[in-house]
Amino acid sequence: MTIPFSIELYPPAHTGASVQLAAALPRLMALGPEYFSVTYGAGGSTRERTVELVEQLQHAGVPVAPHLSAIGAGRDEVRALLTHYRELGLTRLFALRGDAPSGMGGRGNFAYASDLVRFIRDEAGSELEIAVAAYPEGHPQAKSPAADLAALKAKQDAGANLAVTQYFFNADAFLHLRDQCARTGIVLPLVPGILPLTRYSGTARLAEARGIELPRWIARKLMNLGDDTTAVREFGLEVTTRLCERLIAEGVPALHFFSLNRAGAVEALCQRLGLGAMSPVAN
Protein backbone atom coordinates (compact mmCIF):
# COMPACT_ATOMS: atom_id res chain seq x y z
CA MET A 1 0.00 0.00 0.00
CA THR A 2 1.35 3.44 -0.83
CA ILE A 3 0.21 6.84 0.37
CA PRO A 4 1.12 10.42 -0.61
CA PHE A 5 3.90 12.16 1.24
CA SER A 6 5.29 15.70 1.37
CA ILE A 7 8.77 16.90 2.25
CA GLU A 8 9.63 19.95 4.32
CA LEU A 9 12.66 22.10 3.48
CA TYR A 10 14.08 25.22 5.06
CA PRO A 11 15.65 28.11 3.14
CA PRO A 12 19.45 27.89 3.48
CA ALA A 13 21.08 30.75 5.38
CA HIS A 14 24.69 30.43 4.21
CA THR A 15 26.80 28.96 1.43
CA GLY A 16 27.43 25.62 3.15
CA ALA A 17 23.70 25.13 3.70
CA SER A 18 22.97 26.06 0.07
CA VAL A 19 25.47 23.48 -1.14
CA GLN A 20 23.86 20.86 1.10
CA LEU A 21 20.38 21.67 -0.23
CA ALA A 22 21.58 21.71 -3.85
CA ALA A 23 22.94 18.19 -3.36
CA ALA A 24 19.81 16.92 -1.62
CA LEU A 25 17.15 18.49 -3.82
CA PRO A 26 17.46 16.36 -6.99
CA ARG A 27 17.42 13.20 -4.85
CA LEU A 28 14.38 14.37 -2.88
CA MET A 29 12.60 15.40 -6.07
CA ALA A 30 13.28 11.98 -7.57
CA LEU A 31 11.27 10.41 -4.72
CA GLY A 32 8.12 11.98 -6.17
CA PRO A 33 6.61 13.80 -3.16
CA GLU A 34 3.13 15.23 -3.54
CA TYR A 35 4.69 18.63 -2.74
CA PHE A 36 7.54 20.34 -0.92
CA SER A 37 6.88 22.82 1.85
CA VAL A 38 9.30 25.64 2.70
CA THR A 39 9.53 27.05 6.22
CA TYR A 40 9.30 30.74 7.08
CA GLY A 41 11.25 32.30 9.96
CA ALA A 42 9.12 33.98 12.60
CA GLY A 43 9.05 37.73 12.25
CA GLY A 44 9.73 37.38 8.52
CA SER A 45 13.38 36.58 9.29
CA THR A 46 13.68 34.30 6.25
CA ARG A 47 11.12 36.03 4.02
CA GLU A 48 13.39 36.69 1.01
CA ARG A 49 15.08 33.30 1.24
CA THR A 50 11.76 31.49 1.63
CA VAL A 51 10.35 33.24 -1.43
CA GLU A 52 13.54 32.52 -3.40
CA LEU A 53 13.41 28.78 -2.68
CA VAL A 54 9.67 28.67 -3.37
CA GLU A 55 10.25 30.34 -6.75
CA GLN A 56 13.12 27.98 -7.54
CA LEU A 57 10.94 24.92 -6.87
CA GLN A 58 7.92 26.29 -8.66
CA HIS A 59 10.01 27.14 -11.74
CA ALA A 60 11.39 23.59 -11.67
CA GLY A 61 7.79 22.39 -11.96
CA VAL A 62 7.65 20.99 -8.42
CA PRO A 63 4.47 21.59 -6.39
CA VAL A 64 5.35 23.76 -3.41
CA ALA A 65 3.61 25.06 -0.30
CA PRO A 66 5.23 28.07 1.39
CA HIS A 67 4.88 28.46 5.14
CA LEU A 68 3.82 31.81 6.54
CA SER A 69 4.10 32.74 10.19
CA ALA A 70 1.85 35.19 11.98
CA ILE A 71 4.16 36.64 14.62
CA GLY A 72 5.40 40.04 13.59
CA ALA A 73 3.53 39.97 10.28
CA GLY A 74 1.39 42.87 9.13
CA ARG A 75 -1.70 42.63 6.93
CA ASP A 76 -0.05 44.45 4.02
CA GLU A 77 2.96 42.19 4.12
CA VAL A 78 0.83 39.03 4.10
CA ARG A 79 -1.39 40.46 1.36
CA ALA A 80 1.66 41.18 -0.81
CA LEU A 81 3.03 37.68 -0.28
CA LEU A 82 -0.34 36.13 -1.12
CA THR A 83 -0.50 38.16 -4.33
CA HIS A 84 2.98 37.05 -5.29
CA TYR A 85 2.21 33.40 -4.55
CA ARG A 86 -1.04 33.61 -6.50
CA GLU A 87 0.88 35.03 -9.48
CA LEU A 88 3.30 32.11 -9.21
CA GLY A 89 0.30 29.79 -9.43
CA LEU A 90 0.61 28.25 -5.94
CA THR A 91 -2.43 26.44 -4.61
CA ARG A 92 -1.48 25.62 -1.03
CA LEU A 93 0.32 27.10 1.94
CA PHE A 94 0.95 26.55 5.64
CA ALA A 95 -0.25 29.14 8.18
CA LEU A 96 1.60 29.10 11.51
CA ARG A 97 1.84 31.43 14.45
CA GLY A 98 5.63 31.13 14.71
CA ASP A 99 7.69 31.80 17.82
CA ALA A 100 8.80 35.34 18.62
CA PRO A 101 12.57 35.78 18.50
CA SER A 102 13.77 37.20 21.82
CA GLY A 103 13.50 40.97 21.94
CA MET A 104 10.65 41.01 19.42
CA GLY A 105 7.16 41.49 20.70
CA GLY A 106 4.02 43.45 20.10
CA ARG A 107 4.57 43.99 16.37
CA GLY A 108 2.18 42.47 13.86
CA ASN A 109 -1.53 42.06 13.28
CA PHE A 110 -2.04 38.42 14.16
CA ALA A 111 -1.89 36.99 17.68
CA TYR A 112 -2.64 33.37 16.81
CA ALA A 113 -2.44 31.14 13.76
CA SER A 114 -6.26 31.12 13.56
CA ASP A 115 -6.20 34.93 13.01
CA LEU A 116 -3.79 34.46 10.11
CA VAL A 117 -5.86 31.61 8.64
CA ARG A 118 -8.99 33.77 8.73
CA PHE A 119 -7.22 36.66 7.03
CA ILE A 120 -5.71 34.41 4.32
CA ARG A 121 -9.06 32.72 3.71
CA ASP A 122 -10.80 36.09 3.35
CA GLU A 123 -8.10 37.36 1.00
CA ALA A 124 -7.56 34.26 -1.10
CA GLY A 125 -11.06 32.81 -1.30
CA SER A 126 -11.92 29.15 -1.20
CA GLU A 127 -9.41 27.88 -3.77
CA LEU A 128 -6.28 27.96 -1.64
CA GLU A 129 -5.52 24.91 0.53
CA ILE A 130 -4.42 26.05 3.99
CA ALA A 131 -2.50 23.69 6.26
CA VAL A 132 -2.05 24.37 9.98
CA ALA A 133 -0.03 22.82 12.81
CA ALA A 134 -1.26 20.30 15.39
CA TYR A 135 0.51 18.81 18.39
CA PRO A 136 0.11 15.12 19.36
CA GLU A 137 1.83 15.78 22.70
CA GLY A 138 0.36 19.25 23.16
CA HIS A 139 1.83 22.65 22.29
CA PRO A 140 4.32 23.61 25.04
CA GLN A 141 2.45 26.87 25.77
CA ALA A 142 -1.06 25.41 25.78
CA LYS A 143 -2.90 25.91 29.06
CA SER A 144 -4.39 22.41 28.82
CA PRO A 145 -5.02 19.64 26.28
CA ALA A 146 -8.56 21.01 25.91
CA ALA A 147 -7.21 24.51 25.15
CA ASP A 148 -4.93 23.02 22.51
CA LEU A 149 -7.86 21.21 20.88
CA ALA A 150 -9.86 24.44 20.99
CA ALA A 151 -6.98 26.21 19.20
CA LEU A 152 -7.02 23.55 16.47
CA LYS A 153 -10.81 23.83 16.18
CA ALA A 154 -10.43 27.63 15.87
CA LYS A 155 -8.05 27.10 12.94
CA GLN A 156 -10.56 24.76 11.31
CA ASP A 157 -13.38 27.28 11.86
CA ALA A 158 -11.22 30.04 10.40
CA GLY A 159 -10.93 28.07 7.16
CA ALA A 160 -8.00 25.63 7.40
CA ASN A 161 -8.17 22.52 5.19
CA LEU A 162 -5.77 20.16 6.90
CA ALA A 163 -3.46 19.84 9.88
CA VAL A 164 0.13 18.59 9.82
CA THR A 165 1.49 17.57 13.17
CA GLN A 166 4.64 18.27 15.07
CA TYR A 167 6.90 15.21 14.95
CA PHE A 168 6.63 12.52 17.60
CA PHE A 169 8.11 9.13 18.35
CA ASN A 170 5.11 7.66 20.09
CA ALA A 171 2.31 6.64 17.70
CA ASP A 172 -0.22 6.48 20.55
CA ALA A 173 0.08 10.24 21.09
CA PHE A 174 -0.91 10.85 17.46
CA LEU A 175 -3.74 8.30 17.57
CA HIS A 176 -5.07 9.81 20.80
CA LEU A 177 -5.09 13.27 19.22
CA ARG A 178 -6.92 11.86 16.21
CA ASP A 179 -9.57 10.32 18.49
CA GLN A 180 -9.91 13.58 20.44
CA CYS A 181 -10.37 15.50 17.20
CA ALA A 182 -13.14 13.14 16.10
CA ARG A 183 -14.89 13.65 19.47
CA THR A 184 -14.71 17.43 19.34
CA GLY A 185 -15.89 18.01 15.79
CA ILE A 186 -12.46 18.53 14.24
CA VAL A 187 -12.69 16.93 10.83
CA LEU A 188 -9.46 18.27 9.35
CA PRO A 189 -7.37 15.49 7.79
CA LEU A 190 -4.55 14.93 10.28
CA VAL A 191 -1.20 14.30 8.61
CA PRO A 192 1.59 13.03 10.87
CA GLY A 193 4.87 14.97 10.74
CA ILE A 194 7.79 12.55 10.70
CA LEU A 195 11.35 13.37 11.71
CA PRO A 196 13.68 10.61 10.50
CA LEU A 197 15.74 9.63 13.53
CA THR A 198 19.42 9.81 12.58
CA ARG A 199 21.30 10.93 15.68
CA TYR A 200 20.97 11.15 19.42
CA SER A 201 22.11 14.31 21.22
CA GLY A 202 20.67 16.96 18.88
CA THR A 203 17.39 15.07 18.59
CA ALA A 204 17.06 14.61 22.35
CA ARG A 205 17.81 18.28 23.03
CA LEU A 206 15.31 19.61 20.49
CA ALA A 207 12.63 17.13 21.50
CA GLU A 208 13.00 18.22 25.12
CA ALA A 209 12.74 21.90 24.15
CA ARG A 210 9.60 21.24 22.11
CA GLY A 211 7.90 19.06 24.72
CA ILE A 212 8.23 15.87 22.64
CA GLU A 213 8.91 12.56 24.33
CA LEU A 214 11.89 10.61 23.11
CA PRO A 215 10.96 7.23 24.64
CA ARG A 216 13.47 6.00 27.19
CA TRP A 217 14.19 2.74 25.42
CA ILE A 218 15.07 4.62 22.22
CA ALA A 219 17.24 7.15 24.07
CA ARG A 220 19.08 4.39 25.94
CA LYS A 221 19.73 2.38 22.82
CA LEU A 222 20.99 5.46 20.92
CA MET A 223 23.20 6.46 23.84
CA ASN A 224 24.55 2.95 23.99
CA LEU A 225 25.43 3.00 20.28
CA GLY A 226 27.43 6.18 20.96
CA ASP A 227 29.66 7.26 18.07
CA ASP A 228 28.85 4.30 15.83
CA THR A 229 27.03 6.48 13.29
CA THR A 230 26.19 3.58 10.99
CA ALA A 231 24.52 1.65 13.81
CA VAL A 232 22.73 4.80 15.04
CA ARG A 233 21.35 5.46 11.54
CA GLU A 234 20.25 1.85 11.06
CA PHE A 235 18.48 1.79 14.43
CA GLY A 236 16.92 5.21 13.76
CA LEU A 237 15.69 4.02 10.40
CA GLU A 238 14.19 0.90 11.93
CA VAL A 239 12.36 2.92 14.60
CA THR A 240 11.07 5.52 12.11
CA THR A 241 10.02 2.86 9.60
CA ARG A 242 8.00 1.03 12.25
CA LEU A 243 6.35 4.26 13.34
CA CYS A 244 5.34 5.04 9.75
CA GLU A 245 4.15 1.48 9.10
CA ARG A 246 1.89 1.66 12.12
CA LEU A 247 0.50 5.04 11.08
CA ILE A 248 -0.13 3.84 7.52
CA ALA A 249 -1.90 0.74 8.88
CA GLU A 250 -4.01 3.13 11.00
CA GLY A 251 -5.15 4.85 7.82
CA VAL A 252 -3.39 8.24 7.95
CA PRO A 253 -4.06 10.21 4.74
CA ALA A 254 -0.41 11.12 4.07
CA LEU A 255 3.00 11.56 5.72
CA HIS A 256 4.97 14.82 6.03
CA PHE A 257 8.75 14.35 6.31
CA PHE A 258 10.94 16.93 8.05
CA SER A 259 13.99 16.43 5.82
CA LEU A 260 16.30 19.04 7.40
CA ASN A 261 17.47 19.54 3.79
CA ARG A 262 19.11 16.11 3.72
CA ALA A 263 18.18 13.34 1.33
CA GLY A 264 19.67 10.12 2.75
CA ALA A 265 17.30 9.38 5.62
CA VAL A 266 14.12 10.26 3.69
CA GLU A 267 15.31 8.18 0.74
CA ALA A 268 16.03 5.19 2.95
CA LEU A 269 12.67 5.57 4.67
CA CYS A 270 10.74 5.77 1.39
CA GLN A 271 12.59 2.71 0.17
CA ARG A 272 11.69 0.70 3.29
CA LEU A 273 8.08 1.86 3.08
CA GLY A 274 7.82 1.44 -0.71
CA LEU A 275 6.65 5.03 -1.09
CA GLY A 276 6.54 7.26 -4.17
CA ALA A 277 9.15 6.51 -6.83
CA MET A 278 10.43 3.85 -4.40
CA SER A 279 7.09 2.06 -4.59
CA PRO A 280 7.28 -1.42 -6.13
CA VAL A 281 4.44 -0.38 -8.48
CA ALA A 282 6.41 2.62 -9.79
CA ASN A 283 9.60 0.62 -10.42
Ligand X SMILES: Cc1cc2nc3c(=O)[nH]c(=O)nc-3n(C[C@H](O)[C@H](O)[C@H](O)COP(=O)(O)OP(=O)(O)OC[C@H]3O[C@@H](n4cnc5c(N)ncnc54)[C@H](O)[C@@H]3O)c2cc1C
Catalytically active residues are 8
* Beta carbon of residue 241, minimum distance to ligand X (angstroms, whole number): 21
Q: Where are the alpha helices (DSSP H) in the chain?
A: 15-30, 47-59, 75-88, 113-124, 145-158, 171-183, 201-209, 216-225, 229-249, 264-273
Residue 280 Cβ vs ligand X, minimum distance, rounded to whole Å: 29
Burial of 86 (0-12, 13-18, 19+ CB in 10 A): middle
The stretch among 121-129, 137-145, 213-221, 224-232 that binds ligand X (CB under 6 A) is 137-145
Q: Which of 64, 124, 148, 168 binds ligand X (CB under 6 A)?
A: 148
Q: Which of residues 17-76 bind ligand X (CB under 6 A)?
A: 39-42, 67, 69
Q: Which of residues 192-251 bind ligand X (CB under 6 A)?
A: 193
79 versus 112: smaller Cβ distance to ligand X: 112
| 126-148 burial: b if 16+ Cβ within 10 Å, else e | eebbbbbbbbbbbbeeeeeeeeb
Contact track, ligand X, 113-132, x by CB under 6 A? xx------------------
* Distance, CA of 29 to chain centre: 17
- The rounded distance, in Å, linking the Cα atoms of 135 and 167 is 8
137 near ligand X (CB under 6 A): no
Q: Does 139 bind ligand X (CB under 6 A)?
A: yes
**Minimum gap (Å) between residue 42 Cβ and ligand X:** 4
Residue closer to ligand X (CB basis): 114 or 261: 114
Asked whether the beta carbons of 235 and 221 are under 8 A apart, the reply is yes
Closer by beta carbon to ligand X, 1 or else 187:
187
Nearer Cβ to ligand X (31/73): 73
Q: Does 98 bind ligand X (CB under 6 A)?
A: yes
- For 181-215, letters b (16+ CB in 10 Å) and e give beeeebebebbbbbbbbbebeebbeebeeeebebe
Interface with ligand X: number of residues (CB under 6 A) = 26
